[in-house]
Structure 1
Amino acid sequence: MRWLFAAMAVWGTIHPMYYFVSWFQANTWDIMAMVDAWHANDAASGLVWDLTVAAVALTVWVIYEAVQTRQWVRLVAIPATFCIGVSCGLPLYIFIRMSKARAAGG
């Protein structure tokens, strides 16, 4: 099952990045222009805020569990979440978490 989450992390990296890179190539390599595009209408803004709240919740969970378990490798999910997206960070974190549980015999 953990390899399914690894595959989803890869998919969650490649698929969104295809659209981001395509947008940058068609428009400009200005990140603030992309942020403005994310708020082009209320539907897009709602989706941005939905993903922002999910990213913050995931970050709090990752930090809490990393501190509790002293398994600092879990923190890699935070930059994956904010540099790539929740579509990468969440399945990556679950993959890492399942790998550590399996190694610990759990």
Structure 2
Amino acid sequence: MRWLFFALSVWGTIHPMSYFIAWFQANTWDIMAMVDAWHANAASSGLVWDLTIAAVALTIWVIGETVQTRHWVRLIAIPATFGIGVSCGLPLYIFIRMGQTDATRT
């Protein structure tokens, strides 16, 4: 099961990035133009806010558990979430967490 989450984090990196790169190549490499495109209509703005709130919730969870457990490698999920997306950061965090949980059982 753990490796399924790793595969999801890889997919969550590659698949969305392929769309972002294609958009940048067609529209210039201007990040603010992409942010404007994200808010082109109410549906896309709703999706942006949905993902933003999920990213903040994940960040709070990561920080809270990391402080408790002192498994500092888990913090890598935060830049993965904000630099790539929730589709990478969440499964990556679960992958790391499951590996550390398995290690404490043995």
**TM-score normalised over the length of structure 2:** 0.99
In 1, Cα distance between the equivalents of 2:103 and 2:79?
24
Off by >4 Å, runs of 4+ in structure 1: none
Per the alignment, residue 25 of structure 1 pairs with 25
Unaligned runs of 5+ in 1: none
In 2, Cα distance between the equivalents of 1:93 and 1:49?
21
Unaligned runs of 5+ in 2: none
Q: What is the Cα-based RMSD across aligned positions, in Å? A: 0.7
Query: What SS does structure 1 have at the residue aligned with 2:25?
Result: helix
Per the alignment, residue 8 of structure 1 pairs with 8
In 1, Cα distance between the equivalents of 2:62 and 2:20?
26
* Count of residue pairs brought into register by the alignment: 106
Query: What SS does structure 1 have at the residue aligned with 2:97?
Result: helix
**TM-score normalised over the length of structure 1:** 0.99
In 2, Cα distance between the equivalents of 1:48 and 1:58?
15
Pair 1:82-2:82 in alignment = yes
Query: What SS does structure 2 have at the residue aligned with 1:29?
Result: coil
